[in-house]
Structure 1
């Protein structure tokens, strides 16, 4: 059971009601995470705006979902691991073998592996990457824009991981539950 109340869209008022309605319009559902974030319309708005801004970047959905899965695995966030594994299988058509590879910081696709590897370095070093790690990312073909966006996606996912863990948000029934312990 969540440590924060899950604000139901029909009970929400003011900015929180508008934000929850927007999420439902886009996704067709209102995930438990956003219901918990709706305890502060400011937090929910910050998350949604950050997410929307990064979605307009150069990294395609399959890469974004890989980063989210890797970060959730590293942070042991079962809520995000479940949500993003579900999204990655549906939206990016990643199979179970690829999902497992990504959780371990690799990929069957060399370009995806370079990006996931760099994201793993960023999250594991808490942003304090070495010149060698940055050189390897560039040598793997990552552009400066992609490098910047990988860091942004790591930060976005750390935010949602920490929120979900702190609030102990219950995994939505619509998604298969995925546990961080491989």
Structure 2
């Protein structure tokens, strides 16, 4: 197995040190994903930039968390499902929504369910979502802009999910109670 270093501010390449310091200031620690991404300052910067843009997207807060969780679940990313489960609860997303996505169950909220289904199809079909499925999403009250907003969220999660798969990123201690596996 190829081993990846989980960097901190001391071991990271110089170009990544300021970003890691900012992440630590914001979170109180450096999540292992960021430590791994720091190996490539450009990958770290790309993840940060995509994250910032998705946060600024037109999707409601709960819908953003549905995108993150659904894409991570579909991609089988144990690290990101755990991380986004905690982030969703901290953002006051209903625990039932988080549990349903983790368990691959439908959501009771029709709008969030539309986000979940569209995100799942987008990831599963590598972007080749059938026109009728796109229309179902639009008919649920969303816009073409929000179709592309979800693409942005999926791009963010693709970067982190694939990194975690390659690096076998260890789960942060704080996330241990939220551990998830595709077999769950």
Q: TM-score range by the shorter chain?
A: over 0.9
- How far 1:3 sits from its partner (Å)? 2.3
Q: Does 1:114 align with 2:131?
A: no
Distance 1:180 1:91 in 2: 24
Runs of 4+ in 1 over 4 A off after TM superposition: none
Q: With structure 1 as the length reference, what TM-score do the two structures score?
A: 0.92
- RMSD value over aligned CA atoms? 1.7
Report 1:1-182 matches (<5 A).
3-95=3-95, 97-103=96-102, 104=104, 106-175=106-175, 176=177, 177-182=179-184
The answer for unaligned runs of 5 or more in structure 1 is none
Residues 62 and 81 (structure 1), Cα distance of their counterparts in 2 relative to 1, 3 Å cut: same
Distance 2:132 2:105 in 1: 18
8 Å contact kept, 2:54–2:152 = yes
The answer for unaligned runs of 5 or more in structure 2 is none
8 Å contact kept, 2:66–2:116 = yes
8 Å contact kept, 2:13–2:38 = no
Q: With structure 2 as the length reference, what TM-score do the two structures score?
A: 0.91
- How far 1:162 sits from its partner (Å)? 0.6
Where 2:172 maps in the other structure, the secondary structure is coil
Residues 29 and 43 (structure 1), Cα distance of their counterparts in 2 relative to 1, 3 Å cut: same
8 Å contact kept, 2:12–2:39 = no
- How far 1:2 sits from its partner (Å)? 8.5
Where 2:9 maps in the other structure, the secondary structure is coil
Distance 2:118 2:142 in 1: 9
Where 1:135 maps in the other structure, the secondary structure is helix
8 Å contact kept, 2:100–2:106 = yes
